[in-house]
Amino acid sequence: MQFLETDKALRQSRQFGVKPVPVLRPLGWLARGWQDLLRCPGPSLAHGVVLAALGALIFVLARHHFWLLAGAFSGFLLVAPILATGLYVISRDLEHGRTPSLAAIVKAWRPRDGRMVVFGVLLAFAGTGWVMTSASLITGFAGAPIREPADFLRHVVLNDESHLFEIWLAMGAVLAAPMFASTLIAVPLLLDRSDVGVLGAVFTSWRVVMAYPAAVALWAALIMLLTLLGMASLMLGLIVVLPWLGHASWHAYRDLVSSND
């Protein structure tokens, strides 16, 4: 039965072609995402406020337990693609010359066929798994309580003897790389096409990554850089950065995937 589902997902994925893109094309996605943000600032920034508030809530709850905070923020980024669903709707409507509406955004969140729910649950499990792994690694091997950023810097980042920071980064990369490859265009594709299942969307996303790894790597680096800048501004920058990246991600999907049917 599992083989049949995989075979079905492969057939769904083959409905789509992968468009050629130059290495620097992610800069164009950012430019078009910024245009969408300026064309529809109210709903876009409202998404940013909600997402930034979630980030701030994580900080408040874990501010005295930095061993947990470090993993929690990473987990938050893992589930961000599903949280940006409303932003994809806005960009899709703008692309088709429609005025984005609250009703269309709310409709996208309704569990019509369960695909978005399933994908969201899977991402949540992945994010939770990383939070637990990160917390266990830091608390188990740091050699001292990690309660504040200074503790993390002193006992993890600058501890040359344990190499804990390098191990922590490596473990994060092992999880983040396949998750990013799986979600690169999967959520916009699920939103855009009702005839594609979760596994078919993930396979399509992986085909894109394998076809143009350099452009995808640049896109991942830009996402991390802008997100870190947003966090460094006491989360306020995330109000703009997260909707900007959400809109740009829709254009990445539209630029990378074509339909063969």
Over residues 190-211, the pLDDT tens digits come to: 989 988 998 999 999 999 999 9
Residue 70: pLDDT over 70: no
Inter-CA distances, 222 with 15, 25, 71, 126, 128, Å = 29, 12, 20, 22, 24
What's the rounded Cα separation, in Å, for the pair 30 and 125? 29
* Weakest-pLDDT range from 129-133, 196-200, 243-247, 250-254: 129-133
Over residues 129-181, the pLDDT tens digits come to: 777 787 788 777 887 777 776 777 777 777 767 778 888 788 877 777 888 89
Q: How many angstroms separate the first and last alpha carbons of the chain?
A: 26
Over residues 30-52, the pLDDT tens digits come to: 999 999 999 999 999 999 998 88
Q: What is the pLDDT of residue 34?
A: 97
What's the rounded Cα separation, in Å, for the pair 185 and 183? 6
